A = this chain, B = another copy of it.
Amino acid sequence: MIEVEVKAKIDDFNSIKKDLYNIGALESHTEHQEDIYFNSPIKDFAETDEALRIRKVRTKDSIETFITYKGPKIDDKSKTRKEVEVKIEDPEKVADIFESLEFVKASKVIKKRIIYKFEQYIISLDDVIGLEPYMEIETDIEEGNDYKAEIDKIFELFKKLNITEGFERTSYLELLDIKREKN
């Protein structure tokens, strides 16, 4: 699966919610996401632009946990990349397995994500602890398909929502790391 995704810094959540309402995007649900990222024993994922994480997702109805692997970005405007996500039963046991395989626990990213659906897109309003407000627009396509057309459509959707700047390819994990280094 290829995850075609563009992220932008936004001014505030309330005004974007009005814009989402105006184009007819529907609020789906809210998730509390807690991500633990791991680094590889053979390479620095910050340099190879890969990611391995365990995500806990809490909604009002459930708690679910996932392993996610993300490959390097394959496009210079967006965050488009290979993504494999699989549901798991016990995040602590998976962390134990990763550490036994010599992967190293790196940073934590905690966010509240309000999720909207619009056509084939998932729009996320991300309130990440330690960062400014961000919005992501994402769609998944099969490997081998043309992702460039999808990226253009996502930028059109941003424009429709009055967002024409603030685009960001850096992950939340890295943005938090950069902020920590500055302090």
Contact = CB atoms under 8 A, between A and B. Distances in A.
Contact of A97 (B67, B87, B102): B67
B97 A93 contact: no
A88 interface: yes
Contact of A101 (B69, B89, B93, B96): B69
Copies in the complex: 2
A71 interface: yes
Interface string A125-156: 00000000000000000000000000000000
A153 B85 CA distance: 43
A178 interface: no
A89 B84 CA distance: 12
A93 B84 CA distance: 6
Given A41-B42, A42-B41, A42-B42, A100 B71 contact: yes
Nearest to A86: B93
A87 B100 CA distance: 17
Determine chain A's interface SS by DSSP, over half rule.
mixed
A140 to B, nearest CB: 13
A42 to B, nearest CB: 6
A101 B67 contact: no
Chain A contact residues (Cβ within 8 angstroms of B): what range? Answer: 20 to 34
A64 B174 CA distance: 36
Contacts of A86: 88-90, 93-94, 97
22 contacts: A41-B42, A42-B102, A52-B101, A67-B88, A67-B97, A69-B100, A69-B101, A71-B100, A82-B100, A84-B93, A84-B96, A85-B93, A86-B88, A86-B89, A86-B93, A86-B94, A86-B97, A87-B88, A87-B89, A87-B90, A88-B88, A88-B89
Given A50-B100, A67-B88, A88-B88, 14 more contacts: A41-B42, A42-B102, A67-B94, A71-B100, A84-B93, A84-B96, A84-B97, A84-B100, A86-B88, A86-B89, A86-B97, A87-B88, A87-B89, A87-B90
